[in-house]
Structure 1
Amino acid sequence: MPKIHFHPILLAFFFISFLTGTFVEMAVILLIVLIHELGHFTMAKWFDWRIGTIMLWVFGGVMKTDEHGTRPIAEEALVTIAGPLQHVWIYAGIFTLSHSGLLPTSLIEMMLYYNTAILLFNLLPLWPLDGGKLLFLLLALVLPYKRAYHIVILFSMVLAVAFLLVQLILPSFTLSTFLIALFLFMENQSEWKQRHYVFMRFLLKRYEKKTKIMKNKPLYVSSESSLMSVFSGFSQEKRHTIYVTDKYGRHTVLEEQECLQAYFKHKKYHQNVGEIIEKGA
């Protein structure tokens, strides 16, 4: 079993449930969220992912792992979908209980409501929700990894801010919804601060040849391009042949491993690809 931690924002909801006497609702929510996250965990263990902890918060959770961006897109999609899939089994369990007569109708209706709410919430296209991760994987099929990642994080922050503003403007303000929107914004702000680390992890796995390659995708750059600008064009599951054009219109071909070795092995962080070619000649 993974180590399970409770996010600090969850403590605020425990306090709210204490004030409002909604312990049963809180227990139902936590049970559904835990089953949801165990779905991610089980599928990730099937693919032998390295998993740190599972962080639970209201209406969702986050499985901490360094595997995102380093595994095949189809594999990441299966791990992501495994969470929402658990709600199907929860519906089946609720349906069975509803016909057993063991639980009151009010509790059955509550379980149905929260199971649906948590499922739909997690499918919203915001990082780190499952919908946001699926959106990233779809973008990663057609865009370079770095651009797809940045688009999803920035889009998620904008959407979270929009939710916060709507909550402040509308008369139907609820503290719980405001806290959830605030949590999503803070998570994406933290993710944005770590974007360089995430991208370097992606590159390092490429350098170590620990990522799956499906087909070749050529990149066309000038000899003045820095190594990092070349890396910004790298996509998941694609090997890149790099066609370099100098100021005289001459063309040279580099393989991506040559650039990765220049950066990680020879530590030529500040050289452009033209200098790499000249010193390698």
Structure 2
Amino acid sequence: MTMWNNLLPKVHFHPILLLFLLISFFTGTFMQLAILLFIVFFHELGHYIMALQFKWRIKKIMLWVFGGVMDTEEHGTRPVREEVLVICAGPFQHIVLYVIALVAVDTGVISSSIFDTFMYYNTTIFIFNLLPVLPLDGGKLLQLLMSTKWPYKMAYYRSIYFSLIACLFLLGTSLVVQPFTLSTFLLCLFLLFENKNEWKKRYYVFTRFLLKRFETRHNPIGRTRSIRVKAEKSLLEVFSHFYRGWSHNIHIIYPNGSIKLMNEYDCLYWYFEAKRYKDTVGDLGDLTNNTK
């Protein structure tokens, strides 16, 4: 039983999904909703199976009527290649579903009407999930791309800004350009709500990124990048220059023009272990050099 508990995901249903299930019983659309949920779950299963291969910590899978979210602690703490594979595993499942559906209709397992409905929903969800909006797969891929060009904190914040603007654009388009539909309106509201939550936990996500680097100090990153900061800057201001996939040498510039060197681990040690939150990097640079 323990083995199965570790292998099978914990699946939760969003309250909105329960509302749609109730509506589908009274409107005669339960078959369409069942097809939609199957596609969504199969999509999330792709993320889940790939994440298991890399031993990710997975809390649960949350399903709602238009998609799902795999709740994990690993985003931003794993190599970019690893995260790309986990993200792309979801959209890849739709290609598998195309093949399954074609075989099923050719062998008479499903009718042509169910096949048409299945293909429509599969294509819609496939394209929708590639939109560059968090927490969709397209938004996560955009965030990863940004993190290869900018420091992690800047890339993370900008991806949320972009997602919020895109959500507002989609909401405005659904209200003004296209005929109003409740499903589109709820979809836009859901995406706005998710990005609002993402913004609220931005400090926690950034701290998790830093803590992971501190915990894996005995497995240093091969590439090194230099950072030049003024002595009066705080540790958090130094950390805002950290890139994922790089280790950092910090060159501290003092008012008299002298320069002292600290490595990334020293800064993280002073922050997480010594808890010197309010000290400037210049003061800690003096302490570091005096104790060595």
Band of TM-score, shorter chain: over 0.9
Q: Output the CA distance in 2 between the equivalents of 1:167 and 1:12.
A: 22
What stretches of structure 2 of length at least 5 have no aligned partner? 1-7
SS where residue 77 of structure 1 aligns?
helix
Shift of 1:12: 3.0
* Contact 2:232-2:282 within 8 A present in 1 as well: yes
Amino acid of the structure 1 residue aligned with 2:271: Y
Q: Output the CA distance in 2 between the equivalents of 1:7 and 1:69.
A: 25
May I ask how many residue pairs the two structures share in their alignment?
A: 281
Q: 2:88 aligns with which of 68, 81, 85?
A: 81
- Between stretches 138-147 and 157-166, larger displacement belongs to 157-166
Partner of 2:235: 227
Partner of 1:63: 70
Taking structure 2 as the reference length, the TM-score comes to 0.93
Shift of 1:237: 1.0
SS where residue 140 of structure 1 aligns?
helix
Shift of 1:28: 0.3
Percent identity reads 49
Q: Output the CA distance in 2 between the equivalents of 1:52 and 1:103.
A: 35
Shift of 1:103: 2.1
Is 1:276 aligned to residue 268 of structure 2? no
Partner of 2:132: 125
Amino acid of the structure 1 residue aligned with 2:56: W
Q: 2:122 aligns with which of 104, 115, 121?
A: 115
Q: Output the CA distance in 2 between the equivalents of 1:170 and 1:15.
A: 30
- Between stretches 207-216 and 226-235, larger displacement belongs to 207-216
Q: Output the CA distance in 2 between the equivalents of 1:51 and 1:212.
A: 25
Deviations, residues 43-86 of structure 1 (Å, cap 9, x unaligned): 00010111100001122111111011111000010000000001
Partner of 2:45: 38
Shift of 1:212: 6.7
Taking structure 1 as the reference length, the TM-score comes to 0.97
Amino acid of the structure 2 residue aligned with 1:61: G
Q: Output the CA distance in 1 between the equivalents of 2:265 and 2:85.
A: 29
Shift of 1:171: 5.4
Is 1:94 aligned to residue 81 of structure 2? no
Is 1:240 aligned to residue 248 of structure 2? yes
SS where residue 260 of structure 2 aligns?
strand
SS where residue 241 of structure 2 aligns?
coil
* Contact 1:33-1:59 within 8 A present in 2 as well: yes
Shift of 1:157: 1.2
Q: 1:106 aligns with which of 113, 116, 139?
A: 113
Q: Output the CA distance in 2 between the equivalents of 1:102 and 1:234.
A: 54
Q: 2:14 aligns with which of 3, 7, 10?
A: 7
